[in-house]
Amino acid sequence: MKNILLIITLLFIVKVNCQIIQKEDFEILNLGDLGSPANGVVAGQGNWYSQNGLPTDYQIVSYDEQHGKSIQLIGSKNKPKYVFKGNFSVADLQEGNNIIKVTFDVHTGRNFPGGSGSLRSMLYEPNRWLAGIGIDYATGEARGYIQAKSTAGEGLHVVKLGKQKYPTDSWVSLGYYFDLVTGNAYFQTPEGTFGLPATLTPIGGGSKPDEHDFMNYVPTTGSSIAHTIGFDNYSAEAIGTVPLGLREAISEERLKVEIYPNPASEFINVISENIIKSVTIFDATGKSVKSEFSGKKLNLRHLSPGNYILKVQTDSEITTQKFIKK
């Protein structure tokens, strides 16, 4: 009897210490168009929002019997794609549940590896990306993302996770843990679970993510290959402990362009350690709109409220980031 009570108690503790924030296997959705107009404002099936490109770039498909239905992001050479499920919130977490755990399966597609960009899963709060994981299109290797500081500066850094190169047209299971209190992150790949390299100090502590994005990320210029990828078995939950047996990530690199505040109503500051050569704004349909950039400030007063993509070209790279005009 005591053993039975102990098992029941342990099951209760596990249940209490795990809160589901979002969960999706796409099985109840209809095959075909997701149904969102790709503007980041109007939801489609299952309260999923798409942003950038055409509505037909976001499909509910059936890859194989094992995975059943999945969500597919049809890529194009120079247009990043984003999809997220509404009502992501950490406002009502139980005491001690300060770690957000995200897991999912991703289908690498047929043009993989090759080209530039990456597939990603990212946690977002209104002014910045916080943490995430993905696979680099050029190398086929896993990458982690984290708000941190290093000798290169503060901002979103990318870390190399392991040495495995993932194959074409295959499913890969990935995940990550983000500590809301400390801002630390841990990354899970088929090779194991990785912590941050010693060269990085996390700076995302105290954050309150309000969005999780799946991304088919490519530069807006110079991208030679279009990638079509899929996601399935997505779960975001709040837990109280981090995994054991961590391995150190291999290397780190700072993403060199930062924008703030975000959302913004009048101006956005664009900061880069390199020389900024041009700044371009794209609306939710992918059309470029007039931009007024002087010094480090980008004037937003002429823009209608909504979601936009900002392309920044420096003397060493081209980056794109999402921002919101209030």
Instruction: Write the CATH number for 76.
Output: 2.60.120.200
- Closest to 78 measured CA to CA, from 324, 268, 313, 326: 313
**Residue written as tokens 């975001």?**
236
Residues 157 and 262 in one domain: no
Average pLDDT over residues 222-226: 76
Q: pTM of this prediction?
A: 0.76
Among the listed ranges 201-210, 300-309, 317-326, which one has the minimum average pLDDT value?
317-326
Average pLDDT over residues 59-87: 94
Token readout for 234 is 């997505």
> Over 60: is that where the pLDDT of 119 sits?
yes
9 within domain boundaries: no
| Domain boundary, last residue among 251, 282, 307 | 251
Average pLDDT over residues 131-139: 95
Report the run of H or E that residue 294 belongs to, with start and end.
strand 292-294
41 within domain boundaries: yes
pLDDT in tens, 84-113: 999 999 999 999 999 999 999 999 998 888
Residues 95 and 241 in one domain: yes
pLDDT of residue 271: 74
On average, the pLDDT of the chain sits at 87
6 within domain boundaries: no
- Contact predicate 234/123, CB 8 Å: no
Domains held by the chain: number: 2
| Domain boundary, last residue among 251, 281, 313 | 251
* Structural domain that includes position 192: 19-251
